[in-house]
Amino acid sequence: MALTNAQYDEIMRGYDRRQLENRRAADTRRRLVYEKLPRLQEIDGDVASCSVQRAKLLLDGDAAAAAAAKERLSALGKERKSLLREHGYPPDYLDPIYTCPDCRDSGYQGGVKCRCFKQEIINVIYAQSNIQEILSRENFEAFSYEYYSDQDINPTTGLSALKTAENAVRECRNFIDCFDEKPKNLLFYGDTGVGKTFLSNCVARETLNQGHSVIYFTAFQLFDILSRGVFDRDADAIAAHQSIFDSDLLVIDDLGTEMPNTFTVSQLFLCVNERILRGRSTIISTNLSIGQMTERYSERTFSRIMDNYSLIKLFTGDIRLQKRQRHI
């Protein structure tokens, strides 16, 4: 994903600010705990001096004395953790604070961009920062079953709208819990206003919170970017291709609202197939029925979806209409 020098510098300044804020927070913690437990400050001082002494002993080749210093360091560490626990603090309370423990807020792991850095790139290039505001409203904490009736039955499955929604949330939770173990894909389908986009956003938020890179497009936006990259050779659109194929999670919302043509059909297959091959997870939501999807996007595309996606059909009365009627 291409970044200008200015964009790269802005991201790195963000990491510098993050490191500074976390150091200040850690220093404040240490100061307050030292005031309450002076022995902890003594222990940390002893650990520092003992570590220096052990290093010198190792350089001098005095293995026996170095081993004794190592035992002393181990005893001090145990006393430190025990003292913290006794006074209600977790054992790692005075450890350095990191927003991203993987890269320790450097942006890199072993010279390779960390997952958090990749998400920063997505945020910068594709103006995804607005999704954060959406996800603050559309998440599992805000999800409500009250709009799904236990009297409305799907004759095909024999399940009520409520039970179907409960199963869908369970499937979403499983998707999140197993995200690191095995790539999975979800297809939400059903009528307008039944909660498909809401649940997609719930999963996106939890996945982001786990430190994974997430990119969200409506179907119209996705095909527009792909089109501009292929036909106009637009630099930003070309850069977007890598993110579309490589982000940990791609969310395609409202599939079927774009203008259908041979280009969109071929590009959907490419996107679905390439992400499956790369082991990347995808969520698709659509108002189309299974039959309409097969008819519009070809059996080849839908066959890949059927074999690799969990299909989740939601049904209920239009939730947006229900909210307006209830003045919510």
Give the span between the Cα atoms of 2 and 207, in whole angstroms: 24
Higher-pLDDT residue of 259, 130: 259
Same domain, 132 and 257: yes
Q: Is residue 114 part of a domain?
A: no
> Tokens in use for 255?
């599939």
Q: Is residue 121 part of a domain?
A: no
Is the confidence at residue 38, as pLDDT, over 70? yes
Residue 325 binned pLDDT confidence (cut-offs 50, 70, 90): confident
Same domain, 136 and 189: yes
Is the confidence at residue 241, as pLDDT, over 80? no
DSSP code at position 96: P
Question: What SS3 class is residue 170?
Answer: helix
Parallel/antiparallel/unpaired status of strands 108-109 and 112-113: antiparallel
Same domain, 30 and 100: yes
Give the span between the Cα atoms of 190 and 287, in whole angstroms: 5
Least confident of 40-44, 109-113, 131-135: 131-135
Same domain, 138 and 208: yes
Same domain, 35 and 177: no
Domains: count for the chain: 2
Same domain, 293 and 153: yes
Q: Is residue 115 part of a domain?
A: no
pLDDT the model gives residue 231:
64
Of 82, 109, 136, the residue that ends a domain is 109
pLDDT the model gives residue 243:
77
Is the confidence at residue 128, as pLDDT, over 80? no
Domain harbouring 193, CATH code: 3.40.50.300
In the chain, the percentage of residues whose pLDDT exceeds 70 is: 93
Range of the domain at 71: 5-109
Residue 22 binned pLDDT confidence (cut-offs 50, 70, 90): very high
> Tokens in use for 46?
């002893």
Q: Is residue 120 part of a domain?
A: no
Higher-pLDDT residue of 19, 317: 19
Same domain, 21 and 76: yes
Give the span between the Cα atoms of 264 and 220, in whole angstroms: 10
Q: Is residue 226 part of a domain?
A: yes
What does the pLDDT average to over 209-236? 80
182-186-190 Cα angle (round to 5):
165
pLDDT the model gives residue 304:
94
Largest CA distance in the chain: 81
Same domain, 41 and 147: no
Query: What pTM was estimated for this model as a whole?
Result: 0.69
What does the pLDDT average to over 234-260? 81
| pLDDT tens string 56-100 | 988 888 888 889 989 999 999 999 999 999 999 999 999 999 999
326-140-125 Cα angle (round to 5):
105
Q: What is the mean pLDDT of the chain?
A: 89
Same domain, 319 and 202: yes
Same domain, 143 and 57: no
Q: Is residue 245 part of a domain?
A: yes
